Every structure is written in structure tokens, then in C-alpha cells.
Amino acid sequence: MRSTWPKFSACILSAVLVIAESTCQAADPPQGKPNILLIVADDMGYSDIGCFGSEIKTPNLDALAARGLRATNFYVAPSCSPTRSMLLTGTDSHVAGIGNMAEWAGPTQRGKPGYEGYLNSRVVTVASLLREAGYHTYLSAKWHLGEKPDQWPAKRGFERDFALLQGAGSHWSDMLGLLPSEPTVTFTRNGEKVKELPADYYSSKYFTDFVIQNIDENGRDGKPFFAYLGYQAAHGPLAVPAEWRDKYKGRYDKGYDAIRAERLDRQKKLEVVGKDVVTFPRLPNIPAWEKLTDEQRRQAARKMELYAAMIEYMDDQIGRLINHLKKTGKYDNTLIVFISDNGAAGEDMAELVTKLAPTAKDWFDKTFDNRPENWGRPGSCMEYGPPWAQVSSVPFRLFKGVVAEGGIRSPLIVSGPGVRHEGAINHSVLHVMDILPTFLESAGIEHPSKVPGSTVAPPQGKSMWPLLAGRQQATRTDTDWLGWELFGNRAIRQGDWKLLYLLKGAGGAGDWELFNLKDDPAEMHDLSAQYPEKRQALLKLWEEYVQRNGVIVSDAGPYAQPER
């Protein structure tokens, strides 16, 4: 490893798939228009649910995976709003208006097309298209795609919404923000600003309640629904209802090194990863568990206990929604997709706030009670930090904020009508932009960009239905490719090959590196010298990616080196 990771990162069961005809019979998308339930976790790592190797109890997500398909090579962006822009529009974030996160946009990017900081007029959302086709459309989620009234969910196709507009904030009724410039967060409900939340509000429960309420209120007219349930969990601050705070007490006393090894072993047994895969090593600026003092170990273990409880509580709420769908007879006709919006978060919120606003530290310290005995409760603002984020990222390199695999690889579960892969695993390359085309095909809708003279940006993703229905083994060929850029960090993937550029401040080499992900998913062995022609070919694809999407490369963001 060439450099150490910085102290913070950015904010802001069974069978390996060999999709054989014996297990996957050819089928078409479901007849008629299915209900669609899209569930998105926030800042949840690749290995944080049971069916991807975790010790955290997630029986409801595991059951969805056993009924449908798990994908191990599913990609997102390295941070939340770029992913959400691609999820809802099917096109690259640099086209959709989130070329950089609004909080970090640099001087060469501000005001340029694709860098508006909100969903722009060049794109249309899947909610708008489904609503026009006769769907009820509901959003109960973190939005983070524009804070002005004409940018709210109600203006982007959602018939009903409960939305947290900012990228982060309290999980409780206090509505605390994380910056002195924005000391309270903003929620909308059905296109109106929310003045206050119920006293017993907790994000994961209320988000679920809102979806159930709207499905029930509109369930008698025969129209299908599209529900986007975007949990705030497990994004910091760590927070969990009182009766859940000690569910994992003592579970992490053995430390992050041991838990990482256990997760990798479990992933191999589940065939999520190959039997010869090794995990990216513990970062050199993270001490071995046995080097910590007793008090340091106690506090570190407590953070992971709370994080695990947040994940299990989210799974419990997903189970409550699924049980409601079953009781109301809607489950069998509901296509369910589950993802995380980016890799695990290794950030320190106090340091990140200071980076965004150097004068904010005093405000932060006065606003939040971060004594260990208050962790997980209202009024605290703590995260679990890089050591546990590496656990959540097993077996990959780094985590949220960078385009290394730990920042952009997400679990994907797809279950429901037309999905012909009961309990199977798929190892082909998929992308968050594929979700919109998949939903449109399931509902029999054509994207408006295909209409002659249309100025709407076309989707760049590909429908997953040929794969889901068993007609194909993969959505992409080895000649197809994908690109990423955020905060000046860049990547191209084609087939098994990945070209990666990480700034030195982001834990990288400050130069392009070449990896074969089939043999080295942890990105530990730069093959540039052995395969210069492959490196050059991928560099040309990078140039094509920049031109195609109007990318303006800038290191504006948390990894920029201070001026000297």
C-alpha cells in the first residue's frame, strides 16, 4: 500500500450463480403492471447483511434473497446524491445535475451543465414516467437532490412524499442539522414543508409507516404503486430506539480484526466471493485491536454494537412492510429491489463538519452531547469510524467517498414476479443506472428519449430483465464499460479490468493503477507494468467517458490538498 487513509472520508443462500437452465427457466417480465418497491439503505457496507456475510441479523432481507437473486458485482457511486440521481434517472450523475455533491462543488464546476447540485431539466425521473403510466408514486426517503421548492420530490413525479431534503441529520424528532449554517434539517410531506415531527419519531419506523399508510389509502382503486423507501439508516449519527441499544452488547468485544476475518470466511462459504479471495489489509493508521487500551476497546466495540442494531432495526421494519404486503394480498405482485447508496462510511462527523465550515467546531461541540453514555441517544452525533467501515467493506479496498471497490460496490437483492432465480447469486457486472430501465420494462413503458425530437437525456443503464428472467447470463458483455468520477477520483471498469485513479489524500497513489478484479477484488496489485496496452485502452475509455458526460475533473472536495 502506497499511502495511508485520511482521518475522514466524504459525506456529504446458497448457490453461486451459474445461471443454468436447470435452475433458471426462461420467462418474460411479469404480465400486467407489477407493484414496485425500491428500498435503499444509506451508508450501509457491502458485507453488512447476513446473506452477504454479516453476523448482523437481517432475516427479512435474507428471506428476500432466498426468494430471488443476489448480485455481487452491483455498482453505485461513492456517495449518496450522485447515486440517487442515477437511480431515479437511469443516466450518469454528471448529466443529471450531480456531477459533484452540491456541498463540495469547485470553482471550475459551479454553474456548468451537470453541476447544478439538483436534478436538472435534462432528465426525467422514473417516478414521473410511472405516474404518467397509471402508477401511484410514493417517496419516503432521504432526498438530497435539491432543496428549493421547485426541486422537491412533489415536483419530480411523486404523488405523495415524506422526504428529508438534506444529506444527513438527526434520526429523532429534534430535527437537528449538522452545520451551524443549517442547524435544523428540512422535511417535506406531500409537497409541503413539515413544521414539526411527532414526539416519538424515529426515522426508520416513520419512513416505513408512511409507505404503509399510502399503500392502504390508495389500495382500492386497482392502480399499481411505485414506492421508493430510502432509509436514513445506517448513516450517522448512530441512533437506535432504547429497547434495541443493547441487542449486540458484547458481540464485538473480540474486535474489528477478528470480525473482518469471520465475515470473509462466511462470504466464502456463501460463495459471495471466491475461495481464494483475500481482504484488503487493515489500514496502517489503524492500530491492531490488541494495541488499544481497555477503554479504547470498550468504546470501539460500543460503536459497532449501535451500528449493528441500526441495521437490524431497519431489517425489522422491512419485515413489517413485507408482512403488510402479504396480509393485503399485494406481495406476490410486488417487485422488490434492495440496495445501499454507497459503501460504508468511515467519516468522523466532527472533522468533516470542520472541513466544510472551519468555524463550526465550537458549535458542533456545544450542540451535541457525545459522552459515551449518550451514544445512540437523541442529542448525540457519533459514527463508528474507519476500523469498522473496513469491516463493513470486506473484502474491498477503502469505503465511502472514493471509487475504490469499497466505495462503489453495493449488495443488490431483486425478488418478485418474473424473477426466476430462487436463492441464486449473480456475479456479472450491474449498475444502479440499470434500475430505471428495468422498472420501465416491467411496466411496459418506453422512455421519452426515444421519441423523435426529444431533448430528454436517454438512460445509460440497461434493463436487467433478460438476466432476471433467465434469458441471459449477464446484462453486459466484456466490451461494455462503466465510468466513475467524484472529488477528482476516477475509474473505468471493462470486463474484469479496472483502471483506478485515487488522489494521495484519498489513500491512493495519485496516478492511474490497473487491477484485474476477478483475481484481485481488493485492488492490491497494480498490473500497469505487465499490461501497458490494457492500461492505455482503458485510458481511452476514460477520455470517452469524460466527453460523453461533460465531466469537469476537479479535486474539489474532502481530499483536496491544502495550498502551501
Q: Which pLDDT tens digit goes with each residue over 264-321?
A: 999 999 999 999 999 999 999 999 999 999 999 999 999 999 999 999 999 999 999 9
pLDDT at position 28: 63
Q: Rounded CA gap, 105 and 549, in Å?
A: 17
Q: Is the pLDDT at 13 greater than 50, yes or no?
A: no
> Please, what's the b/e burial string for 427-443 (b: 16 or more CB within 10 A of its CB; e: otherwise)?
bbbbbbbbbbbbbbbbb
Closest CA to 282 of 394, 184, 172: 394
In this structure, is residue 99 part of a structural domain?
Answer: yes
Q: Rounded CA gap, 429 and 517, in Å?
A: 11
Q: Rounded CA gap, 118 and 81, in Å?
A: 9
Q: Rounded CA gap, 193 and 202, in Å?
A: 18
Collapse the DSSP code of 515 into the 3-class scheme (helix H, G, I; strand E, B; otherwise coil) and give the result.
Answer: strand
Q: Rounded CA gap, 248 and 359, in Å?
A: 37
Q: Is the pLDDT at 21 greater than 70, yes or no?
A: no
Q: Tell me what the mean pLDDT of segment 551-559 comes to.
A: 91
In this structure, is residue 454 part of a structural domain?
Answer: no
Closest CA to 62 of 273, 70, 420: 70
Instruction: Identify any residues that bridge with 179 across adjacent strands, giving them in sequence order.
Output: 182
pLDDT at position 559: 87
Amino acid symbol at 21: E
The share of the chain scoring above pLDDT 90, in percent, equals: 87
Residues 6+ apart with CB under 8 A from 384: 236, 238, 303, 304, 306, 307
Phi, psi of 428 (to 5 degrees): -80, 165
In this structure, is residue 121 part of a structural domain?
Answer: yes
pLDDT at position 6: 37
pLDDT at position 7: 34
Q: Rounded CA gap, 472 and 464, in Å?
A: 9
Confidence of residue 26 (pLDDT cuts 50, 70, 90): very low
Global pTM value: 0.94
Q: Rounded CA gap, 303 and 343, in Å?
A: 18
Q: Rounded CA gap, 90 and 437, in Å?
A: 7
| Range in 316-320, 357-361, 435-439, 457-461 with the lowest mean pLDDT | 357-361
Closest CA to 59 of 320, 239, 417: 320
Residues 6+ apart with CB under 8 A from 203: 164, 171, 172, 231, 232, 233, 239
For residue 136, give the H/E element and its range: strand 136-142
The share of the chain scoring above pLDDT 70, in percent, equals: 93
**What secondary structure does DSSP assign to 196-259, as a single string?**
---TT-BHHHHHHHHHHHHHHHTTTS---EEEEEE--TTSSSPB--GGGTTTTTTTTTT-HHHH
Q: Which three cell numbers stand for residue 309?
A: 442494531
The answer to whether 153 and 124 have CB atoms below 8 angstroms apart is no
pLDDT at position 9: 35
The answer to whether 442 and 29 have CB atoms below 8 angstroms apart is yes
From residue 415, give the alpha-carbon distance in Å to each of 35, 291, 292.
Answer: 12, 44, 43
For residue 38, give the H/E element and its range: strand 35-41
Residue entry with cell 440521481 = 85
pLDDT at position 2: 37
| Range in 288-297, 360-369, 534-543 with the lowest mean pLDDT | 360-369
53-75 confidence digits (pLDDT tens): 999 999 999 999 999 999 999 99
pLDDT at position 92: 98
Q: Tell me what the mean pLDDT of segment 527-534 comes to.
A: 98
For residue 294, give the H/E element and its range: helix 294-327
Q: Rounded CA gap, 532 and 218, in Å?
A: 59
The answer to whether 160 and 190 have CB atoms below 8 angstroms apart is yes
From residue 334, give the alpha-carbon distance in Å to each of 3, 29, 242, 326.
Answer: 47, 12, 33, 10
Closest CA to 100 of 484, 514, 507: 484
Domain that holds residue 117: 35-237+254-427
176-202 confidence digits (pLDDT tens): 998 888 899 999 999 999 999 999 999
In this structure, is residue 446 part of a structural domain?
Answer: no
Q: Rounded CA gap, 411 and 52, in Å?
A: 7
**How many residues make up the chain in this entry?**
564
- DSSP class of 113: T
Q: What angle do CA 35, 192, 189 make, to 5 degrees?
A: 40
- DSSP class of 172: B
In this structure, is residue 551 part of a structural domain?
Answer: no
330-346 confidence digits (pLDDT tens): 999 999 999 999 999 99
pLDDT at position 561: 66
Q: Is the pLDDT at 474 greater than 50, yes or no?
A: yes
pLDDT at position 31: 67
> Please, what's the b/e burial string for 449-478 (b: 16 or more CB within 10 A of its CB; e: otherwise)?
eeeeeeebbebbbbbbbbbbbbebebbbee
In this structure, is residue 489 part of a structural domain?
Answer: no
| Range in 6-10, 86-90, 98-102, 414-418 with the lowest mean pLDDT | 6-10
Phi, psi of 158 (to 5 degrees): -95, 120
CB atoms < 10 A from the CB of 564, how many?
Answer: 3
From residue 405, give the alpha-carbon distance in Å to each of 196, 300, 380, 394, 395.
Answer: 39, 25, 31, 10, 9
Residue entry with cell 475522514 = 8
Residues identified as active-site: 80, 144
Q: Tell me what the mean pLDDT of segment 106-114 comes to.
A: 95
pLDDT at position 558: 87
For residue 443, give the H/E element and its range: helix 435-443
Q: Tell me what the mean pLDDT of segment 203-230 comes to.
A: 95
CATH of the domain at 378: 3.40.720.10
Q: Is the pLDDT at 12 greater than 90, yes or no?
A: no
In this structure, is residue 26 part of a structural domain?
Answer: no
Does a cis peptide bond (omega within 30 degrees of 0) precede residue 234? yes
pLDDT at position 562: 56
Mean pLDDT, the chain, rounded, equals 92
In this structure, is residue 332 part of a structural domain?
Answer: yes
Total domains in the chain come to 1
From residue 444, give the alpha-carbon distance in Å to each of 130, 137, 155, 222.
Answer: 10, 16, 24, 17
Q: Rounded CA gap, 204 and 103, in Å?
A: 25
